[in-house]
Structure 1
């Protein structure tokens, strides 16, 4: 190719980067890294075979080593909690007495819920801060939060 073959590798790498913008798989980006490695090799060496070997080794290395960790990092995020599970651990203040025989309406996360004590023998006094431990149907089972002593 007469010493200018690095330009072909550079062009191939640029096209792969542009194509990656449409696929978002990170596969074409890893192949682009191999092409760029071939371009860098082409600047210093006048052997197309050596350039292709370097490009292939770098691309395979990127696909096998770098891509899995990048994909794991990109796909790992906060867990989305939906439904009643999102209410577990929420706290509210009891507006009235809560007992197994006397449920109370409690505002949890902006919604009204029927609340009963998680321990059926417990009586929760008005003004007590409670925490949701379980949701069964439309009933929130709560337990008082211990006051911190300073």
Structure 2
């Protein structure tokens, strides 16, 4: 069997192993083995193929992996402004219907409307903030009972 075929088999096995481990190391080694297989297919001697594999492995592990690891472990972006209010709980201060109402969100008073225009959310009810449109919070009641239905 020719050496380039062996490199391709090694690359395939390393690629399959990467799928199960998700370490990104075996995937880089698979890419290096693929490059060595390409070198073998071009007719380079076995020593040159090993050198291509070694250089590809070192370059991948020393350069590519730290960059990829940094991107994977980056914390989620901080939400600020009105985007930070989405997903929070609100306490309705007045009845909230399609014409409007008032709600307390994060210690601040906001104008509010129900997310579903057919809902009516009574005063002193807890609701989730689903979106912010301009200066108006779109709310949906937390309770799953018929409370707030027209």
Q: Deviations over 1:23-73 (max 9, x none)?
A: 100000011111011101101134111100110101110111111112222
Q: Give the TM-score normalised by structure 2.
A: 0.53
CA distance in 2, matches of 1:61, 1:90: 44
Question: Which residue, 45, 48, 51 being the options, matches 2:49?
Answer: 51
CA displacement at 1:131 relative to structure 2: 6.2
* 1:32 equivalent in structure 2: 30
CA distance in 2, matches of 1:22, 1:28: 10
Secondary structure, aligned partner of 1:15 = helix
Q: Give the TM-score normalised by structure 1.
A: 0.53
Question: Which residue, 4, 7, 24 being the options, matches 1:6?
Answer: 4
Could you say what the CA RMSD is over the residues aligned between the two structures, in angstroms?
A: 3.6
CA distance in 2, matches of 1:143, 1:111: 10
Question: Structure 1 residues 110, 128: CA separation in 2 closer, same or farther (over 3 Å shift)?
Answer: closer
Structure with bigger gyration radius = 1
Question: Structure 1 residues 20, 80: CA separation in 2 closer, same or farther (over 3 Å shift)?
Answer: farther
* 2:131 equivalent in structure 1: none
Q: Any runs of at least 4 consecutive aligned residues in structure 1 with deviations exceeding 4 A, and if so which? A: 127-131
